[in-house]
Amino acid sequence: MNLGGGDRRPAPAAPGDRARAYASVSLWLATCGDDLVADDALDGDREVDVAIVGAGFTGLWTAFYLAEARPDLRIAIVEREIAGFGASGRNGGWASALFPSSLATLARDAGRDAALRQHAAMRASVDEVIRASAAAGIDARLAKGGTVVLARTDAQLARARAEVEEARAWGRRDDELTLLDASQARGHLAGTGVLGGTYTPDCAAVHPGRLVRGLVRAVRERGVRVHERTAATRIVPHRVETDRGTLTAAHVIRATEGYTPGLPGHERDVVPVHSLIIATAPLPASLWERIGLARRETFTDGRHLVIYGQRTADDRIVFGGRGAPYRLGSTVRLDPRHARDTHRKLRSTLVDLLPVLRDVEITHAWGGALGIARDWHASVGHDAATGLGWAGGYVGDGVTTTNLAGRTLRDLILGVDSELTTLPWVGHRSPRWEPEPLRWMGVNAGLRAMTAADAEERLTGRDSIAARVMAPFTGGH
């Protein structure tokens, strides 16, 4: 079993050795069809029009749309490792319409119409990921099969019903979110103990490694310089300082998500929380007939401590979840002991959900850091006076949201007033996280509370008191 998931910079080595180390990061990078050899390190000071820090989905989509709109722009991206080394090459492969802040939260800040426009933009962005990938010649193994959320306890079923009722109050139709009975839910995924669930068509399963490495090729074909193995050490107005030289630019975009606390002055902007993932060997057709997911639906259930899964194009199950402890000082690197423990729990959870997988081989196990803002509110913005821009705080919902961020940053940088630049997440400023050790205590207390809440609900069948108490501190509403 390949235990990837560490975030240490690979030790200096021959390019081939480094490429093999990068391939060990996740199933996605191991099977992305790219040689993963780092290319075009910055070799001194340069002046450009737009400098982007971070070659994940946010930085690459921003460069992609800018280069499409203005081929004359000089655009450079710096990346400490290789493009896709972070969350973009480690996630669960959901291109969903999920946004971390609820409609109610968005409406409280910006009004009902603005909240619904944000929701509509997220739905449209799922299709834009599919369209843009095809237009760029990227085979990201996309399948828009939607998402099934199983309800496996009475409390989960009650929350599913409440979610659908709330959706109707917002004018969301049955073709956006459907309440499923037990038979209908099992028709999507034949899990154990299924009482019902919900289904939305607004999600595509994706091979994120093929998408992120395809985007690197696409932006380079459009004239963008992607400087891999080039670590940004400081961001200030109109300048990015790196270990290999300085970029001077009219616009500087921070696209670093869970790695943001490593930049001076940004230590408390987000906290990196780890999500861990396992992948099975490809499964035979006989097993898939018993499991379901005929349309490659992504799946989860209604528990508080998030789990998620998908059927890959090569017929594996990729299954992940949260629960690994937050490390003091916003350390991005996983503790190997915590990783092993969480991977074991994930396998147990998967087998509990689908006992037919009890004897199936787990071929890959990895993890990565996602970024959470203090108010669990993703944001994008650009200050015309300083040239500084940013996007992030996706709380694990970034595969699609990064695409929306890239198009929004394009318009903000070019000074274009558009529907995108008036969305309620534009310009939002989250409060900073508490200093340590309060940050460490609070984040880990939240993780423990969600675990306790799920256990409480399994025992009592009722909605958890612990979850209600912790909801204001963990992004609940």
Q: Is 45 left (phi over 0), alpha (psi -120 to 50) or beta?
A: beta
Fold of 2-92+208-271+375-422: FAD/NAD(P)-binding domain (3.50.50)
- Decide: 317 and 240 in contact? Cβ < 8 Å: no
| DSSP codes joined into one string, 447-476 | HHHHHHHHHHHHHHSS--HHHHHHGGGTT-
Strands 362-372 and 2-3: parallel
Domain ranges of the chain: 2-92+208-271+375-422, 437-477
Alpha carbon distance 324, 316 (integer Å): 23
Q: What is the CA radius of gyration of the chain?
A: 21
Structure-token match 């929004």, residue found: 408
pLDDT for residue 323:
76
- DSSP state, residue 283: P
- Bond before 437 cis per omega within 30 degrees: yes
In 3-state terms, what secondary structure has residue 28?
Answer: helix
Token digits of residue 145: 């099969």
Alpha carbon distance 194, 173 (integer Å): 24
In 3-state terms, what secondary structure has residue 191?
Answer: coil
pTM beyond 0.75: the answer is: yes
Alpha carbon distance 237, 325 (integer Å): 35
Alpha carbon distance 457, 297 (integer Å): 26
Q: In angstroms, how far is the first alpha carbon of the chain from the final one?
A: 39
Q: How many other C-beta atoms are found inside a 10 Å radius of the C-beta of residue 220?
A: 17
Token digits of residue 235: 């961001």
Alpha carbon distance 468, 384 (integer Å): 41
User: What pLDDT tens digit does each residue of the chain (477 aa) get?
Assistant: 444 444 545 445 667 788 999 999 999 999 999 999 999 999 999 999 999 999 999 999 999 999 999 999 999 999 999 999 999 999 999 999 999 999 999 999 999 999 999 999 999 999 999 999 999 999 999 999 999 999 999 999 999 999 999 999 999 999 999 999 999 999 999 999 999 999 999 999 999 999 999 999 999 999 999 999 999 999 999 999 999 999 999 999 999 999 999 999 999 999 999 999 999 999 999 999 999 999 999 999 999 989 999 999 999 999 999 878 888 888 888 889 999 999 999 999 999 999 999 999 999 999 999 999 999 999 999 999 999 999 999 999 999 999 999 999 999 999 999 999 999 999 999 999 999 999 989 888 888 887 787 777 777 767 765 555 555 444 443
Q: What contacts 18, CB < 8 A, 6 or more positions away?
A: 10, 37, 38
